[in-house]
Amino acid sequence: MKVCIMGQGYIGLPTAALFSRNHCEVVGVDINEEIVNNLNKGIIHIEEPGISDIIRQSVKKNTYKASLTPEKADAFIITVPTPYIVENYSCDLSYVITACETIVPLLEKGNTVIIESTIAPMSTDEVIKPIFEKAGFKIGEDLYLAHCPERVLPGKILEELVHNNRIIGGVTPECSVKASEVYGQFVEGHLMLTEAKTAELSKCMENTFRDVNIALANELTKICAEIGVNALDVIKLANKHPRVNLHSPGPGVGGHCLAIDPYFIYAKAPETAKIIKLARDTNNSMPDFVCKYVEKIIPNGKIAVLGASYKGNTDDDRESPAYDIIARLENDGYEIAVHDPHLERDNFVSFGDAIDGADLILILCDHNEFKHPDYKLISEKMQNPIIFDTKNIIPSVPEGVTLYNYGNLYEI
């Protein structure tokens, strides 16, 4: 089977790697020429365990190649970004539409087209299907169209793409069967066949569920800071109940899924989806909450920000609340030095340089490197070491270091 994958990012590239590892001929398409050139040398641009080795081997075996343009194939998979439109929170399908229109001249009868990009409910039927029908194809008869969203955890993408159950949402039952045959090349989880609109809403609701529950934990944190209760103890004790699972609070919600997908549902029914919108507003308010308590800890000075990724132990900083917090603090006159061992940015510095002369260490990401920092170096570099841990990852600190987290904000 030959597979053409449009987009070689956090989902497209791992998917390409797995198809190529399972004896498929894969063409990975991306608009970034530097990324394409590097991939053809076996050099990947994302931090994700296992992918680099697979791509290098696949390039050598000629089972994978990257390209700026698509080629004829048996199956086409669309994995391009779907941001939201700020004015009305609706799903921006422009990248998906462009990708679909680009492959139209290459399509042949019997091909399968799969949209993996997360899209708003009804998008496949109302927007994407007409593109191919206009080109003369009969969906479900000579062209098979489906929406098959991914559900993976950064850091474990390869493992979860293989073992997680997969939603297969065909425009017709025949489309679902054909799409399942494509994923059957490597997926070992259960292939759950349904219709496209159900698949679309299921994916959006998976991320909305998590966003809403994180918002509940974040709101609890605000309440506890206001009335003088340890939020972390409340969560720990409440979760001893056999049917309670409060999520972990943090500095906000990032990533291309949780921070965006709930809006796709809200935009479809804004008068009804009130809980969804309130949860989004709550999580979006956390950078302000963090900055408010930073100002209470130190009214001015230098802040060493640890972490810009939205998720620990990855280089994924899409929609990261860290950037909002950094911008707000800089606007308030603080000197900011950012350190993130998983991200290469021209303005980021080493851990030692970040804490040198700092008045506060602000932890915004739960990288393993931050859970047990070098306290000897901290004491040497900082006159009065203070840590504000918004990810609640440091259990204790040595004498001479002050630790604030979401359990003791009321003490500030």
**Residues carrying an active site annotation:** 203, 257
Report the C-alpha gap between 49 and 307 in whole angstroms.
Answer: 19
* Contact present, 394 and 363 (Cβ < 8 Å): yes
The rounded distance, in Å, linking the Cα atoms of 81 and 91 is: 10
Distances (CA, A) of 77 to 204, 357, 389: 19, 50, 41
Q: Checking DSSP bridges between strand 143-147 and strand 111-115, what pairing results, if any?
A: parallel
Closest CA to 30 of 118, 100, 99: 99
- Determine contact, residues 96/78, Cβ cutoff 8 Å: yes
- The single residue listed with the structure tokens 């991914």 is 150
CB-CB contact of 151 with 164 (8 Å): yes
CB-based contact 5:79 (threshold 8 Å) = yes
Buried residues in 271-286 as b, exposed as e (16+ CB within 10 A): eebeebbebbebbeeb
Residue 25, φ and ψ in degrees, nearest 5: -90, 120
The C-alpha atoms of residue 12 and residue 77 are separated, in whole angstroms, by 8
DSSP assignment of 74-110 equals SEEEE-----B-TTT--B--HHHHHHHHHHGGG--TT
Q: Could you write out the DSSP letters of every residue in 107-137?
A: --TTEEEEE-S---TTHIIIIIHHHHHHTT-
Place of tokens 């194809």: 137
Rounded distance, CA 256 to CA 41, Å?
Answer: 28
199: left (phi over 0), alpha (psi -120 to 50) or beta: alpha
